Structure 1
Amino acid sequence: MDKNDKLKILSRQDDVVSLYNEASLVLNLSDKHKFIETFGLTALEAMSAGLPVIVPTEGGIAEMVEDDENGYKIDVQDLEEVEAHIKQLLSDRNRYQQMATNAQEYSLSFSEESMISKIAEILK
């Protein structure tokens, strides 16, 4: 495989499921100096597909990630650190698999069933 075939950068997509099914991890490189991700749906979608994520260090998106458990929170200005974490994650299959499992388990707390249960509890 040519080195250039390992990275795809795509514009906004209507069907992200097929992309997540082909991915190994998902990066959200939002610059916290320009805007803050208030929730982070892209990270949650990725985690529901069993993908570890790399996200900014601030905002709601950062609250979803526990470093070295289901992904990493990294200042996106530090591309060397982003690169190091990608290499580390993709070079250790066992660690990758554990983080992927943790990511998917975390996403279950946002399932329809879980959310309905939480809302019902609040309304009691």
Structure 2
Amino acid sequence: MNTDNLQILSRQEDVTSFYNKATIVLNLSDKHRFVETFGLTALEAMSAGLPVIVPTEGGIAEMVTDGENGYKIDVQDLNKIVEYIHLLLSDQELYNKLSNNASAYSRNFNIDKMTESILSLFD
């Protein structure tokens, strides 16, 4: 087995540099083992303008609109994951659209909007 393209790192305090080097972020959580309740990794990636591929269920899936800011794909469907990675890397116009939409979506999660949303629950 060749592992020249794999690097395993310990937990990082600041992941910004990793997102700045990335092109796409995948969260391949298996819904049969656990469900991502929120998906901070996807939101962090989107704030860096990165399209994401996420599971089909859980809170993380609620953040993604297929073909708009990323894709929801079952982790068991490796062929579809590969297909969409190739699609994103080969279609610059599509990539730019998803990247811009991901960045725009992430701006909904700022302190002012979150405070407003929480306060509206009390109205």
**Do both share a fold (TM > 0.5)?**
yes
Provide structure 1 residue ranges, at least 5 long, that are not aligned to the other structure. Answer: none
Q: Are residues 1:54 and 2:67 paired? A: no
Post-superposition shift, 1:9? 5.4
Whole-angstrom distance in 2 between the partners of 1:34 and 1:57: 13
SS in 2 for 1:123: coil
Q: Which has more helix, going by share of residues?
A: 1
Q: Which deviates the most, 8-17 or 71-80?
A: 8-17
Q: Are residues 1:67 and 2:62 paired? A: no
Post-superposition shift, 1:10? 4.2
In structure 2, give the amino acid aligned to 1:39: F
Question: Cα 1:80–1:29, aligned 2, differ >3 Å: closer, same or farther?
Answer: same
Counterpart residue number, 1:34? 33
Counterpart residue number, 1:108? 107
Question: Cα 1:119–1:60, aligned 2, differ >3 Å: closer, same or farther?
Answer: same
Aligned residue pairs total: 121
Aligned identity (percent) is 63
Question: Cα 1:99–1:59, aligned 2, differ >3 Å: closer, same or farther?
Answer: same
Provide structure 2 residue ranges, at least 5 long, that are not aligned to the other structure. Answer: none
Whole-angstrom distance in 2 between the partners of 1:98 and 1:6: 28
CA RMSD of aligned residues (A): 1.7
